[in-house]
A and B are shown apart, each in its own frame.
Chain A
Amino acid sequence: MIALIDYGAGNLTSVRKALSAIGAEVSVPGQPSDLENAMGVIVPGVGNFQATAGMNAAWRDAILDVVGRGRPMLGICLGLQWLFEGSKEAPDCQGLGLMTGQCDRLERGIEPVEGQAWPLKIPHVGWNALHFPRASRLFDGIEEGSQVYFTHSYAAPVTTDAVAVTTHGKPFASAVERGQVFGVQFHPEKSGDVGLRVLKNFLDAV
């Protein structure tokens, strides 16, 4: 059983639907103690980093306990950012600190298309390419340069934990992996076949 955490940041329908399409057994725990029997945990979420404050100390401890027992965890979008120490979006909210570094706002850049210079928009919304600095479990069987669906304004830094890097203004960590802890900035539940494969690769770690 995979525990899908609902802390009020966005809706879980799409993630549930994608997971059940690939045959995962999912439950949404009502209280932290429900996590005791979880074989893995997924933290989805959209919106402001402040929303992670919806997870109080009891939830954090329960999630960290699952991770401490070697069970895999996947953070999606805001869930990836929460794996880090914090975010400039909400400096008062602490991240889980499972990954080193702070999340920061994407930079306004310029993109040359057809000889014109187009200012980049923020939020970064749409399909963009994944580049793999090294082999990973999360992207097993997925081609370099595959595109996935993003929608976010803040992003995590590229560190040694990054297993996928995407560029919008500047390069950011589009996926991270350390031991049994995984995170994706994009939405695998909205990224077609590539996204479903990423979810399946995570399930294989469970």
Chain B
Amino acid sequence: MLSKRIIACLDVRNGAVVKGVHFEGLRNAGDPAELAARYNEEGIDEVVILDVTATIENRRALADTVAAVAKRIFIPLTVGGGIRSESDAAAAVDAGADKVSLNTAALTNPDLITTLAARYGSQAVIVAVDAKWEDGRAVVYVRSGQRGTQREAVEWAREAAARGAGEILLTSIDRDGTRKGFDCPLTAAVSKAVDIPVIASGGAGSLDHFSDVFIEGRADAALAASIFHFSEHSVKSLKALLRSRGIPVRL
């Protein structure tokens, strides 16, 4: 049976992981390669590197970071943040990324989804959808959640899939950083609407939140950052709990 995936997100700025990292026994807790290797040992299913600054000066540093991480782990690696063109995507892939995650660029230039899917295969193209509830409608936001659009999340996810996206990374702006749990109704609405896998993101604060998003939210994968960075919850204990509840995981 296909396992539900647990994905760790590393928010990276100038080659270092930002957000608190409290792992014991790491030489440099802010070093993405060290952290990725640690997660890999604990049984994480995938790693996402998110360039939170995404400036041009930072591109070189990002490529070095991706290469350093890719050298240490042999599980799927995604790079996102500021990928706006085919050459941005090529730089990430050449550095060792298996998938790229498009956000703002997918909306402003949807042909990029198709171009990248043709060049690397749909499995290498993730479209990130950031959504926020407004008057009962899940509105798509761009530019790191700064700007609202006319698009609705379910309808945009369907279009992205039709244009060649291989997965949807769905982030609830309302829940992001709150640790109140994933937005299960939003996730279920998108997951039921598309055939491709949906990765839920935003709001993970306890282990129960993960089983909620897999069962109620119909998520195929769940992504989190800070909950794993703080050693309070290990990937292993999360997966053991999920398995005890009948949710298929890789242990």
Given the contacts A47-B121, A192-B74, A129 and B96 also touching, CB distance less than 8 Å: no
Which residues of chain A have C-beta atoms less than 8 A from B1's C-beta?
A: 111, 128-129, 167
Q: Is A71 an interface residue (CB 8 A)?
A: no
Q: Is B183 an interface residue (CB 8 A)?
A: no
Q: Is A195 an interface residue (CB 8 A)?
A: yes
Nearest CB on A from B92, distance (A): 11
Query: What class of interface size applies to chain A in its complex with B?
Result: 35 or more
A111 vs B5: C-alpha distance in the bound complex, in angstroms? Answer: 16
Closest to B167 in A: A125
Which residues of chain A have C-beta atoms less than 8 A from B215's C-beta?
A: 113-114, 116
Which residues of chain B have C-beta atoms less than 8 A from A123's C-beta?
A: 122-123, 166, 195-197
Closest to A108 in B: B195
A127 vs B4: C-alpha distance in the bound complex, in angstroms? Answer: 8
A11 vs B98: C-alpha distance in the bound complex, in angstroms? Answer: 9
Q: Is B3 an interface residue (CB 8 A)?
A: yes
Nearest CB on B from A23, distance (A): 14
Number of A-B contacts (CB under 8 A): 98
Closest to A45 in B: B121
Q: Is B120 an interface residue (CB 8 A)?
A: yes
Nearest CB on B from A79, distance (A): 13
The answer, among A47, A122, A190, for a CB contact under 8 Å with B195, is A122
Nearest CB on A from B181, distance (A): 17
Whether A121 and B220, one on each chain, are in contact in the complex, defined by CB atoms closer than 8 angstroms, is: yes
Which residues of chain B have C-beta atoms less than 8 A from A125's C-beta?
A: 123, 166-167, 196-197, 220
The answer, among A122, A126, A167, for a CB contact under 8 Å with B3, is A126
Nearest CB on B from A144, distance (A): 14
Which residues of chain B have C-beta atoms less than 8 A from A190's C-beta?
A: 74-76, 98
Chain B contacts with A in 95-148, Cβ cutoff 8 A: 96, 98, 120-124
Given the contacts A11-B93, A190-B76, A126 and B2 also touching, CB distance less than 8 Å: yes
Which residues of chain A have C-beta atoms less than 8 A from B196's C-beta?
A: 121, 123, 125
A126 vs B248: C-alpha distance in the bound complex, in angstroms? Answer: 11
Nearest CB on A from B1, distance (A): 6
Q: Is B94 an interface residue (CB 8 A)?
A: yes
Given the contacts A126-B197, A196-B74, A9 and B121 also touching, CB distance less than 8 Å: yes
Closest to B90 in A: A11
Q: Is the interface of B mostly helix, strand, loop or mixed?
A: loop
Nearest CB on A from B15, distance (A): 20
Nearest CB on B from A146, distance (A): 9
Whether A121 and B195, one on each chain, are in contact in the complex, defined by CB atoms closer than 8 angstroms, is: yes
A116 vs B45: C-alpha distance in the bound complex, in angstroms? Answer: 24
Given the contacts A113-B215, A127-B2, A10 and B74 also touching, CB distance less than 8 Å: no
Given the contacts A118-B218, A123-B196, A125-B220, A10 and B75 also touching, CB distance less than 8 Å: no
Nearest CB on B from A142, distance (A): 14
Whether A126 and B45, one on each chain, are in contact in the complex, defined by CB atoms closer than 8 angstroms, is: yes
Chain B contacts with A in 226-251, Cβ cutoff 8 A: 245-248, 250
Which residues of chain B have C-beta atoms less than 8 A from A111's C-beta?
A: 1-2
Please encode chain A, from 162 to 178, with 1 for each CB lying within 8 Å of some chain B CB and 0 for all others. Answer: 00000110000000000
> Which of A12-20, A28-36, A53-61 lines the interface with chain B?
A12-20
Q: What are 16 A-B residue pairs whose CB atoms fall within 8 Å in the complex?
A: A9-B121, A14-B70, A17-B96, A46-B123, A47-B121, A113-B215, A114-B246, A122-B195, A123-B195, A125-B123, A126-B221, A127-B250, A128-B3, A149-B76, A167-B1, A193-B74
Chain A residues packing against B (C-beta within 8 Å): 9-11, 13-14, 17-18, 21, 46-47, 111, 113-114, 116, 118, 120-129, 147, 149, 151, 167-168, 189-193, 195-196
Chain B residues packing against A (C-beta within 8 Å): 1-5, 40, 45, 70-71, 74-76, 93-94, 96, 98, 120-124, 166-167, 195-197, 214-215, 218, 220-221, 245-248, 250
Top 7 A-B residue pairs of the complex, sorted by shortest distance between their CB atoms: A47-B121, A151-B123, A46-B121, A147-B250, A127-B250, A127-B3, A125-B197
